[in-house]
Chain A
Amino acid sequence: GQNIDQPTEMTATEGAIVQINCTYQTSGFNGLFWYQQHAGEAPTFLSYNVLDGLEEKGRFSSFLSRSKGYSYLLLKELQMKDSASYLCAVREIGGSYIPTFGRGTSLIVHP
């Protein structure tokens, strides 16, 4: 099984940088996903990490440290439209290979 932990809520200012952390415990790591979910909408895929290091995609970056069981999503130049929930999902080796989702972090961006 997996234990995935994310902060419940974060607030930040428009134009700033925010880092959303995700820690996990798993017996056989096989990939970590980040999704964004606006209120009342479907989650949409943001990033995937399976090797240590930083993956950059425009204003969003995702980092992974497998030895520490730790990932973060970094959002730069925050915009009001970035207000959403951010879901971390971890996949384990074996079994069904289906990722398990954390409870999500609600990010509020204010002017």
Chain B
Amino acid sequence: DVKVTQSSRYLVKRTGEKVFLECVQDMDHENMFWYRQDPGLGLRLIYFSYDVKMKEKGDIPEGYSVSREKKERFSLILESASTNQTSMYLCASSREQGAEGDEQYFGPGTRLTVT
């Protein structure tokens, strides 16, 4: 079974802090994604990566950056956390894009609260 793990289930940070969210997948997937999920807004893509050291902006990249130094690990960084970044953050991975059967596998999520 594919397993996607995230470093924390719950996190509380103060405004202005630098925040790191870590994600690891164990199935040698090419692609990894970071989403945030908010009530009434659904899943919104922040950043994705299709290879080591490669990254692409999603729909809402402002205030975030990412790092992918190893194939299995994709980190989301909040350079200076703000209260409007309070959300559920979901990491996902997939085998390859554009191919049939390239469904995404999601981690359990990190609920981040910025006070």
Using CB atoms and an 8 Å cutoff, list the residues of chain A in contact with chain B.
Answer: 30-31, 33, 35, 40-45, 48, 50, 87, 91, 96-104
List the interface of chain B (C-beta within 8 A of A).
Answer: 4, 33, 40-45, 48, 50, 56, 58, 90, 97-98, 100-101, 103-109
Q: Is the interface of B mostly helix, strand, loop or mixed?
A: loop
Query: What separation, in Å, do the CA atoms of A73 and B97 have in the docked complex?
Result: 23
Closest to A99 in B: B104
Kindly list 12 other residue pairs between chains A and B, CB separation below 8 angstroms, not including A41-B109, A100-B45: A30-B98, A42-B106, A45-B105, A50-B100, A87-B43, A96-B48, A97-B98, A98-B45, A98-B58, A101-B44, A103-B40, A103-B42
CB-CB nearest 8 A-B residue pairs:
A103-B42, A42-B106, A97-B98, A97-B97, A45-B103, A101-B43, A43-B106, A101-B42
